[in-house]
Structure 1
Amino acid sequence: MTTIVTSDKSIMTHAQPSRSLLRDVRIVMTRELKPVLRDPFTLLFGMIQPLVFLALFGPLLSGSMGGTFGDRVWQWFVPSILVMTMLFGTSTTGANLLFEFQTGAHERMLVTPLSRSSLLIGRALKEMVPLFGQAVIVIAVMTPFAFDLYVGGALVGLALLAVFGVGLGSFSYALAIAVRKQDWMFWVVQQTFLFPLMILSGMLLPLETGPGWMRVASKFNPLSYLVDAERTLFSGDVWSSAVLWGWVAALVTVTLGLTVGIRSMLRSAG
């Protein structure tokens, strides 16, 4: 009779190496950026688009609100343009996903070892790369026109926009999954929510002179806290309570967005 003795050392288990979330995000982000870099005209147009808003809307704002803000109109309005650019960019993250549903690219991404959260974060951060370029151009153009640059506040402000943008992009991703069989619904829902959020945030016009119900509604709008925080940061005040509330709104948005987005992704893959 032969006795076979096995030991734990004789049993070799080969676990897959743990992947880094940052590495996965970089892979997804690079993949999403390649088509953009191959189309320089679209990239160039996106870079100058905020300047068009400044050129057309800025003089009207200066004329109607110059008495209220004096020479601080641009300090009030430039951060709004950057928030609006982030809003338009990250809220359309799901639009590219709808195209990938048609080509089957999304399903191929789901079978890769990439973490599910990296698919959301990488796509949303891809929209932030043009935003950073736009911010540099806007600041460079507006600095000679009574816009004061506070580098520390500006850097914190851009980081805050990136965090909020990841959350918003994740919601856009979940929306695309929900309406994948009726893709026209994506734009209906996106625009139905987008413009009320903009108006009720005081992004383009101050709400102080508006009706009471709008001021109350703005308290429940996370975007209003982000706008206030950005204006405070771009004025050089990094430690204001407005900045704290802006980070709270951004962290709540990114937490809820990633939770909803990842759950939607897992259900769609099931």
Structure 2
Amino acid sequence: MKLARDTWLIFQRQFLLLIRNPIWIFVGVFQPVMYLLLFAPLLKPALNAPTQAEAYRIFVPGLLVLLAIFGGLFQGFGLIAELRAGVIERSRVTPVSRLALLLGRSLRDVVSLIAQAIIITLLALAFGLTVFIGDLLLAYLMLALIALMTSAVSYGIALRVKSEDALAPLMNTIAQPVLLLSGILLPLTFAPSWLRHVADWNPFSWAVDGTRALFAGDLGNDRVWQGLTIVAVLTAAAVWWAAREFARSVR
């Protein structure tokens, strides 16, 4: 109960800071919207899709996973600002759970991501995308786990490096191969076999495939449950590691 109460208190404070400056939600969604409006129309001939709606059914799930990955990986910059302002230092004299310090912030990031994902989905529906609500909710669960994982990793690394100058190139170095090996923009079925084998070691490629299967209404596809399982295990590991970093920093 104490962990839940402390997490709720941290979440409330972080969410209040977010809604006081909601421009960040729209800044985060701006780039995906540009991909949706300016890149997705090129996919029907490129993918030889029978309809534009089918092209969106392939592209939008990857775009949402992209939003979850990048939205989470760069949350550590805000934590570094809090470190510099002494917010984390002052947490040492409070009885708040150290795990709650992480979970409250990461859950704020998950809520922000889901809000952005809903905006993207509604825009895609206007372009002819169709998806069953149950499959969509399960896809959002996949996105929430990815956002929780990546934000936890970002916070843990931020506590280690304590510098935006070090965090920015490190996050970009992580994000680039993740992006290229996950089939986010184009399915990896178009890739040579060696690249597909390498991508099998990227957990986000499983998440992308699972999310695409959900948007296609293929709930029984093995990739759905394999992707959810892999992402859930990695999320638990990321939260455990980041919580330890918070515990070390707030002793």
**TM-score for the superposition, normalised by structure 2:** 0.91
* Selected match of 2:232 from 225, 248, 251: 251
Distance 1:151 1:101 in 2: 41
Distance 2:247 2:206 in 1: 31
Whether 1:203 and 2:203 are equivalent positions in the alignment is no
Q: Which has the higher contact order (CA 8 A, sep 6+)?
A: 2
Q: Percent identity, please.
A: 32
CA 1:41 to 1:261, structure 2 compared with 1: closer, same or farther past 3 Å? closer
Distance 1:239 1:112 in 2: 47
Distance 2:146 2:67 in 1: 12
Consecutive unaligned residues in structure 2, runs of 5 or more? none
Letter in 1 for 2:153: F
Contact 1:47-1:133 at 8 Å conserved across structures: no
Contact 2:72-2:151 at 8 Å conserved across structures: yes
Whether 1:70 and 2:56 are equivalent positions in the alignment is no
Distance 2:30 2:174 in 1: 25
- After superposition, the C-alpha distances for 1:163-208 in whole angstroms (9 at most, x for unaligned) are 222122111111101101x431111110001011011011112222
Distance 1:73 1:118 in 2: 41
Distance 1:110 1:77 in 2: 45
SS in 2 for 1:126: helix
* Selected match of 2:129 from 141, 147, 169: 147
Contact 1:120-1:166 at 8 Å conserved across structures: no
Whether 1:230 and 2:216 are equivalent positions in the alignment is no
Distance 1:61 1:103 in 2: 46
SS in 2 for 1:208: helix
- After superposition, the C-alpha distances for 1:10-42 in whole angstroms (9 at most, x for unaligned) are xxxxxxxx51x3332222222112222112433
Deviation at 1:57, TM superposition (A): 1.4
Consecutive unaligned residues in structure 1, runs of 5 or more? 1-17
- After superposition, the C-alpha distances for 1:140-168 in whole angstroms (9 at most, x for unaligned) are 22224231121001111111211222122
Deviation at 1:265, TM superposition (A): 2.0
* Selected match of 1:59 from 41, 48, 62: 41
Letter in 1 for 2:167: F
**Residue in 2 that maps onto 1:105:** 87
Pair member with larger Rg: 1
What is the aligned length?
249
Distance 2:219 2:9 in 1: 32
Q: Which has the larger share of helix?
A: 2
- After superposition, the C-alpha distances for 1:223-245 in whole angstroms (9 at most, x for unaligned) are 11111111111222333211111
With 33-42 and 152-161 compared, the bigger mean Cα shift is at 33-42
Contact 2:113-2:144 at 8 Å conserved across structures: no
SS in 1 for 2:26: helix
Letter in 2 for 1:22: A
Matches within 5 A, 1:156-171: 156-171=138-153
Whether 1:242 and 2:223 are equivalent positions in the alignment is yes
SS in 1 for 2:63: helix
Distance 1:245 1:111 in 2: 43
Letter in 2 for 1:155: L
Matches within 5 A, 1:36-47: 36-47=18-29
Distance 2:87 2:206 in 1: 37
Distance 2:211 2:171 in 1: 23
